[in-house]
Amino acid sequence: MTLTGDRDLLQIVYKNLLDNALKYGRPGGAIRLVFVSEGALLRFEVWKQGEDLSEAQLSQVFDKFVRLRRAEGLAQGTGLGLFITRDIVRKHGGEIRAECPGDQWVKFSFTLPAPT
């Protein structure tokens, strides 16, 4: 399947979501990558196990310069990654969301229009 988009910008999206899963997951915790083709949409999911996030935290993570925990000063980051990621996804006509489906999973999923 061929996806039309800006390769460099979409790489920023994949890289940030994977980096985050690795940086903020617990040691030994699982990571799941899911790719689903749903009619007019492609959906990508990056799941990582580590801790539950509250609704308030989930709604903040896409804002500029947000870092949820002080201890994350130890993991390098600017707090800009998800802000930029959402912008790139939207510019490609997609949407991104963060959810906490339970059992300490945090799930980021984004859609892109499928090639026509």
Ligand X SMILES: Nc1ncnc2c1ncn2[C@@H]1O[C@H](COP(=O)(O)OP(=O)(O)OP(=O)(O)O)[C@@H](O)[C@H]1O
Instruction: State the residues that interact with ligand X by CB under 6 A.
Output: 16, 20-21, 24, 48, 53, 61, 66-69, 72, 77-83, 106
By CB under 5 A, the residues from 18 to 47 that bind Mg ion are: 20
When CB distances are held under 5 to 8 angstroms depending on the partner's kind, the choice from ligand X, Mg ion, none that residue 80 binds is ligand X
Indicate which single residue of 13, 17, 62, 81 sits in contact with Mg ion (rule: CB under 5 A): 81
Contacts of 42 (CB under 8 A, 6+ apart): 1, 3, 35, 36, 111, 112, 113, 114
- Tokens representing 22? 């690795």
Q: Which CA distances in Å does 22 have to 52, 67, 101?
A: 16, 15, 18
Chain residues binding Mg ion by CB under 5 A are 16, 20, 81
